[in-house]
């Protein structure tokens, strides 16, 4: 949209009518997006032209506005009397709170006009940062936005990062009597419980991404009914052993739910798979008003002390079809020794989690790249080293992959994906990896073997904070 405004305005009267059409300019997106989903700052010449020649002519018609951290101050020099929706991107954690408290124009907008707000933080996980910035930003937004109904607070290209700890904050600092929809990334299951403890009395939609579902340490009553909640979405990429003790009781509280989304990886012991029977008996029967249920649930079974006869894959499918849930597919691996068998092209799959008790070899990733041509997010969890690393003639390409998570994987898999002699990742912008393995695979950020696949990274999420060495920025030029 920025390029259109800059290039077509004042070309002739016809173009002016097209550009200034109220249906076009009332939703004003002033962010620059590259081919690698990177949001960059607007060129100064463009920004000058937009702020001096265009915004004074259209500002009174703008109802939705999107801008990034470097240009927001210039863009907010004009008044937007009809503005109710604001999207703010590319803010660094350590400057976010400072800007929100220091800019009086933004404070006035948030206080008097904004009902819909999107805040996307550009995560920088280094030793220079602390959780204080994360923790103070969320309550600051709630205190400033007196009319807020819809809030999204997360990290750009989120799936792992920007966890905030709600339960560590005073309940009086995180309250809203107007908020009805919240989308947020949090750290623990306790944070989710605190969001539902009544501090948002009119909340009807909650979309929450939890880094890890672990045992609750809070004193929140996880039995009180949530009668106002209509839509609930819960995502967590890490394995949890607390599905039955934490997640199921929470879902039992949502008797008026109309739409439910679950994306979970569950580790169960002395039990069996989560199938249609379990979902109906433990969840759906408690939600009589539910009309839409979307789920992706991985169940990994560890039975050491008892012997259980597992249902076959056909039995699992039958558990859904007998209840007329026909749009469900399943795959059961009972041996976990040969990885996955090739079973077709999955051209609609965007997210894939790979885990096993035996090593993943190069030829398997080759099959994955072919069978999942539109894959954008890949999670590899496998601590077993590869046995065969001699595969010079079979280069793998993941043409659409944006995010790669190797936090729970052996260093061999970092070499497998990041060495350009093994794999090409032309669109990779986010990497999750343990810091020690990142140092090993890049040879202290000096080797050329992984430089090409790291060139477009906008976010590197590690298991601990660290001070960036001098050559870090040369290896990751966009960070």
pTM listed for this prediction: 0.80
Under a CB-based contact definition with an 8 Å cutoff, are residues 365 and 390 in contact? Answer: no
Report the alpha-carbon distance of residue 269 to residue 300 in Å, rounded.
Answer: 9
What's the confidence (pLDDT) of residue 375? Answer: 94
What's the confidence (pLDDT) of residue 463? Answer: 82
In a domain, residue 97? The reply is: no
What's the confidence (pLDDT) of residue 461? Answer: 86
Burial tier of 209 (Cβ tally within 10 Å: 0-12, 13-18, 19+):
buried
CA distances from 173 to 99, 116, 264, 431, 454 (A): 19, 20, 30, 33, 40
pLDDT in tens, 183-218: 998 888 999 999 998 889 999 999 999 988 988 887
Whose CA is closest to 297, among 265, 268, 329? 265
In a domain, residue 312? The reply is: no
In a domain, residue 438? The reply is: yes
3-state secondary structure the chain: CHHHHHHHCCCCHHHHHHHCCHHHHCEEECCEECCCCCEECCCHHHHHHHHHHHHHHHHHHCCEEEEECCCHHHHCCCCCCCCCEEEEEEEEHHHHHHHHHHCHHHHHHHHHCCCEEEEEEECCCCCCCCHHHHHHHHHHHHHHCCCCCEEEEEECCCCCCCCECHHHCCHHHCCECCCCEEEEEECCHHHHHHHCCCCECCCCEEEEEECCCCCCCCCCCCCCCCCCCCEEEEEEEEEECCHHHHHHHHHHCCCCCCEEEEEEEEEEECCCCCCHHHHHHHCHHHCCCCCEEEEEEEEEEECCCCCCCCCCHHHHHHHHHCCCCCCCCCCCCCCCCCCCCCCCCCCCCCEEEEECCCCCCHHHHHHHHHHCCCCCEEEEEECCCCCCCCCCCCCEECCCCCEEEEEEECHHHHHHHHCCCCEECCCCCEEECCHHHHHHHHCCCCCCCCHHHHCCCCEEECCCCCCCCCCHHHHCCCC
| Domain CATH number, residue 379 | 3.80.10
Whole-angstrom Cα Rg for the chain: 24
Mean pLDDT score across all residues of the chain: 84
Q: What percent of the chain has pLDDT over 70?
A: 82
Under a CB-based contact definition with an 8 Å cutoff, are residues 376 and 401 in contact? Answer: yes
In a domain, residue 245? The reply is: no
Over 60: is that where the pLDDT of 127 sits?
no
Whose CA is closest to 479, among 33, 132, 126? 126
Report the alpha-carbon distance of residue 443 to residue 143 in Å, rounded.
Answer: 46
What's the confidence (pLDDT) of residue 128? Answer: 42
pLDDT in tens, 330-353: 777 765 555 555 556 788 888 888
**Domain end residue (candidates: 27, 57, 83):** 83
In a domain, residue 17? The reply is: yes
Report the alpha-carbon distance of residue 461 to residue 161 in Å, rounded.
Answer: 7
Range in 6-10, 93-97, 372-376 the model is least confident about: 6-10
Over 80: is that where the pLDDT of 368 sits?
yes
Report the alpha-carbon distance of residue 398 to residue 423 in Å, rounded.
Answer: 8
In a domain, residue 276? The reply is: no
Confidence of residue 131 (pLDDT cuts 50, 70, 90): very low
In a domain, residue 460? The reply is: yes
Parent domain of 379: 338-479
Whose CA is closest to 380, among 424, 426, 415, 342? 415
Beta bridge partners of 277: none
**Count of structural domains, the chain:** 2
Over 60: is that where the pLDDT of 473 sits?
yes
In a domain, residue 364? The reply is: yes
Report the alpha-carbon distance of residue 315 to residue 180 in Å, rounded.
Answer: 40
**Domain end residue (candidates: 52, 83, 114):** 83
Confidence of residue 38 (pLDDT cuts 50, 70, 90): low
Compute the average pLDDT of residues 145-171. Answer: 73
Confidence of residue 406 (pLDDT cuts 50, 70, 90): very high
**Domain end residue (candidates: 61, 83, 105):** 83
The residue ranking higher by pLDDT, 271 or 249, is 249
């Amino acid at each position: 949209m920025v390029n259109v405004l800059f290039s077509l305005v004042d070309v002739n009267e016809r173009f002016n009518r097209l550009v200034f059409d109220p249906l076009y300019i009332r939703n004003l997106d002033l962010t620059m997006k590259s081919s690698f989903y990177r949001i960059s700052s607007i060129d100064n010449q463009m920004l000058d032209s937009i702020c001096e020649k265009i915004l004074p002519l259209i500002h009174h018609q703008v109802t939705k506005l999107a801008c990034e951290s470097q240009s927001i101050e210039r863009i907010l020099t004009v008044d937007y009397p009809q503005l109710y929706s604001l999207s703010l991107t590319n803010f660094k954690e350590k400057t976010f709170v400072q800007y929100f408290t220091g800019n009086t124009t933004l404070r006035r907008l948030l206080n008097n006009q904004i009902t819909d707000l999107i805040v996307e933080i550009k995560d920088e996980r280094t030793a220079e940062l602390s959780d204080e910035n994360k923790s103070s930003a969320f309550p600051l937004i709630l205190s400033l936005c007196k009319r807020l109904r819809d809030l999204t607070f997360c990290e750009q290209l989120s799936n792992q990062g920007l966890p905030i700890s709600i339960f560590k904050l005073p309940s009086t600092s995180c309250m809203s009597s107007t908020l009805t929809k919240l989308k947020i990334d949090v750290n623990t299951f306790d944070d989710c419980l605190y969001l539902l403890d009544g501090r948002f009395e009119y909340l009807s939609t909650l979309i929450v991404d939890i880094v890890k579902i672990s045992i609750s340490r809070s004193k929140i009553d996880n039995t009180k009914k949530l009668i106002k909640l209509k839509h609930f979405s819960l995502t967590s990429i890490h394995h949890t052993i607390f599905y039955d003790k934490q997640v199921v009781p929470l879902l039992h509280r949502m008797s008026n739910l109309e739409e439910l989304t679950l994306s979970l990886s569950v580790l169960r012991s002395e039990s069996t798979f989560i199938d249609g029977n379990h979902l109906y008996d433990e969840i759906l029967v408690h939600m009589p008003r539910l009309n839409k249920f979307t789920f992706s649930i991985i169940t990994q079974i560890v039975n050491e002390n008892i012997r259980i006869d597992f249902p076959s894959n056909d039995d699992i499918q039958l558990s859904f079809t007998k209840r007329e849930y026909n749009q469900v597919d399943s795959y059961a691996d009972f041996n976990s020794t040969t990885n996955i068998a090739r079973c077709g092209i999955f051209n609609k799959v965007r997210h894939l989690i790979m885990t096993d008790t035996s090593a993943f070899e190069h030829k398997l990733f080759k099959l994955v790249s072919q069978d999942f041509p539109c894959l954008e997010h890949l999670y590899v969890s496998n601590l077993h080293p590869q046995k065969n690393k001699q595969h010079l003639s079979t280069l793998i390409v993941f043409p659409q992959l944006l995010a790669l998570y190797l936090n729970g994987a052996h260093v061999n898999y970092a070499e497998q994906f990041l060495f350009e002699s093994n794999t090409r990742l032309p669109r990779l912008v986010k990497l999750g990896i343990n810091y020690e393995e990142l140092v090993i695979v890049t040879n202290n950020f000096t080797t050329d073997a992984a430089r090409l696949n790291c060139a477009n990274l906008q976010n590197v999420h590690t298991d601990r904070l660290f001070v960036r060495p001098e050559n870090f920025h040369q290896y990751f030029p966009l960070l």
